[in-house]
A and B are shown apart, each in its own frame.
Chain A
Amino acid sequence: MNNRPSPKLAIHRREFLGLSALGLGISLVGARAAAAAPSVASPDNVAILYDPVKCVGCKACQMACKRWNKLPNESTDPLGIYESPRDLSAITWNIIKLRRTEVGWHFFNYQCMHCTDAACVEVCPTRALFHDPLGFVALDRQKCNGCGYCTQFCPYGVPHLQVANLLTGEAKSAKCTFCQDRLWSGIGGPSCAEVCPVGALVWGKRGDLLDRARARVAELQAQGLNARIYGENEAGGLRRLSILLGEPEEYGLPSVPKTPAFARAWQRIIQPLGNVAFGAALLGILGTFLFVRRKIRMEEVK
C-alpha cells in the first residue's frame, strides 16, 4: 500500500488548506501598507521658517508662489481690507493675512504646514499625496482622482479641490507643494522663501532652522514679547515652522492638531475591522458551502 491518505481525507485537507489560505489572504489584504511616514521629523528635512516680526506684508511670497506654480488670478472681495484674496484656495497656495493678537495687528503667512503626521497623506486613497524623502508633503496631480478627503481631514484646511464639475465629481486637489519641482530639479528652494526681501520666510534644513528659531524666540522674549515656536512637535513636527506672538488659537492654528489621529482611527481601525467582517462572512459562507455539499443530499429533501 502507498502512504497517500485516502481520497476523502485528501479532500478534507485540501479544503482545510484552502480555507486557511483564504483567511490569511484576507488578513494580508486588510493590512494597509504602512505609509512611509517617518514618526519624527528629521533635522535633515527641508523646512521653511516664518518670522512675523520681520514680515512687512509686501506679499512678494504670495506673488512668487502664483508665478512659479502658474496659478491664475483670483477675483477678490473689493470690501476686503488687506487680505486679498481672503483665504487659501485651489489657486492660492500662499497668503499673507492680518492677525490681531495680544501685541496688536501684524502679518502672518499661511501655506501648507508639511506635517510629519499628515492627515492628508493618511486618508489619500491614491497616494497622490505622499511624504517626499526630502521632508515635504508632495502632491502628484496625475494620480489624484479628486475624492477630496484631504480637504476635509487637514487640520489646517490647506488642500482645496479644483472642481471641474460638481455633478460628475471631476476635480483635482491643490495645495502648496514646497515648490517640489524646484527642489527635485535642483533649481533652489521654495519660491516664497527665495523671494522674501526681509528674511521673514527662510528655508533650509529643519534642524538648523529650529536652532535659528530658538535663538530668535529668546531674543524676542528678551524684548518682553510672548514669543514661541509653532511646529516643533505639532502633528509629529511641521516642516513649516513659525514664530508666534501669542497662543496658536489667535492665529487660527490648533494647539493640538487632532485630525491625524481621527484619520488613523478611520483607516487603521474601522477599515481593518471591516476586512475582518468580510473575511468572516466569506469564510463562513465557504465553510457552509463545503459542509452543506456533503451533508444535504438533494434526493432526500422533500
Chain B
Amino acid sequence: MTVQLKGRPEVIQIQWIPKYTTLERAAHWIHTATFVPLAITGMILYFPFLEPLAQGEAGLFIRLVHRVAAVIFGLLPIVYFIFEPRRLLMNIREFLPNKEDLGWLKAAPAYYLLGRHEAMPPQGRFNAGEKMNGLVMIVAWAVFGITGVPMWFGKGVIPPEIFRWLVVFHDLAMIVSVCMFLVHLYLAVAHPLMWAGLVSMRFGVTSAEYAMVHHAKWYYGPKRAMEIWEAKKREAAHKGGH
C-alpha cells in the first residue's frame, strides 16, 4: 500500500503482512461483545450498590441476558476449533511463556510509560503482555464454563457443598479476567503507542515495519532475531564504552 500525504512529495510505502484470519477477528469481537454484557450482568449480582437492578423482573432479565451471552461466549472457541483447529493450536503454543518474557516484563515499564523501546528483547507473534492476556482469558473461559454450567443446571443435582465453591471460583475468574480486560481495553484504545494492535484486530494485518521492531522473532525467525538483538546489544555496549 502506498500513501502520499497532502502537500508532500515523498510517498510512504507500507507493506502489510497478515496476522489474524477473518474468523479470528470475528471471534475476537464476538468474544468482546459477549464478555462485556456477561461482566456487567454478573456484576449486578456482585456489587451491592447495583442491588435495585438485581431485584424482581429486572433481575430475571439480567440473568436471562447472562445466559444468552454465556452460550455464545462458551461455544465461540469451540466453533473456532472446528473451523481452524491448527490456527487455534498454533496460537495456544505461541501464548506459552519463554525466557525472553522476563526481559520483556522488566523492560515494559520504560516502554509503556516513557516510550523507550531499546531494552525490549525480541518477541514472537505475541509479546509477553499479550500472552498473559491470552492465557488469562483461556483459563477464565474454562473456569467460567466448568463452574457456570453446573450453576445453571445443577441446583438440586450437585451437592450444595460443591455448588458453594463453584460460586466462589466463578467470582474469582471474573475478578481476574475483568482486571485483565480493563488493562487490555486501555492499551488497545487509549495508549498512544498501541495503535497497531487495533489495526491488526480490525483488518487482520500488521505493517512489516512494526513487526520488524516489535515482533522480531516472528518477522525474522527466532534465530535471526536473536542475532540482531545480540548485535544491537554489543553495539550499545561499544558506544557506551567510549
Contact = CB atoms under 8 A, between A and B. Distances in A.
Tell me whether A and B are bound partners.
yes
Interface of A: 29, 32-33, 125-128, 142-149, 151-153, 157, 161, 166-170, 259, 262-263, 266, 270-271, 273-274, 277-278, 280-282, 284-285, 288-289, 291-293, 295-296, 298, 300-301
Given A270-B171, A277-B175, A144 B193 contact: no
B113 interface: yes
Contacts of B58: 145
12 contacts: A127-B51, A142-B55, A144-B55, A145-B59, A151-B155, A169-B64, A266-B171, A277-B175, A277-B176, A281-B183, A289-B190, A292-B192
B164 interface: yes
Interface in B23-47: 44-47
B149 interface: no
Nearest to A263: B164
Interface string B44-68: 1111110100111011101110010
Nearest to B47: A29
Contacts of B192: 292-293, 296, 298, 301
Contacts of B191: 288-289, 292
B160 interface: yes
B164 A262 contact: yes
B55 A169 contact: no
Contact of B56 (A32, A125, A142, A281): A142
B64 A168 contact: yes
Interface in B166-197: 167-168, 171-172, 174-176, 178-179, 182-183, 186, 190-193
B55 A143 contact: yes
Interface residues of B, number: 44
Contacts of B115: 295-296, 300-301
Contact of A259 (B60, B152, B164): B164
Nearest to B159: A152
A145 B152 contact: no
A168 B59 CA distance: 12
Among all A-B residue pairs, the 5 with the closest Cβ atoms: A145-B59, A274-B175, A296-B115, A281-B179, A125-B45
A149 B44 CA distance: 14
A146 B60 contact: yes
Given A169-B152, A266-B168, A274-B46, 10 more contacts: A126-B55, A145-B56, A145-B58, A152-B163, A152-B164, A262-B164, A285-B182, A288-B186, A289-B191, A295-B114
B112 interface: yes
Contact of A285 (B51, B62, B186): B186
A263 B46 CA distance: 13
Contacts of A126: 51, 54-56, 59
B49 A29 contact: yes
A147 B151 CA distance: 9
B59 A295 contact: no
B240 interface: no
B156 interface: yes
Nearest to B181: A281
Contact of B171 (A32, A274, A288): A274
Contacts of B45: 125, 147
A238 to B, nearest CB: 19
B193 A296 contact: yes
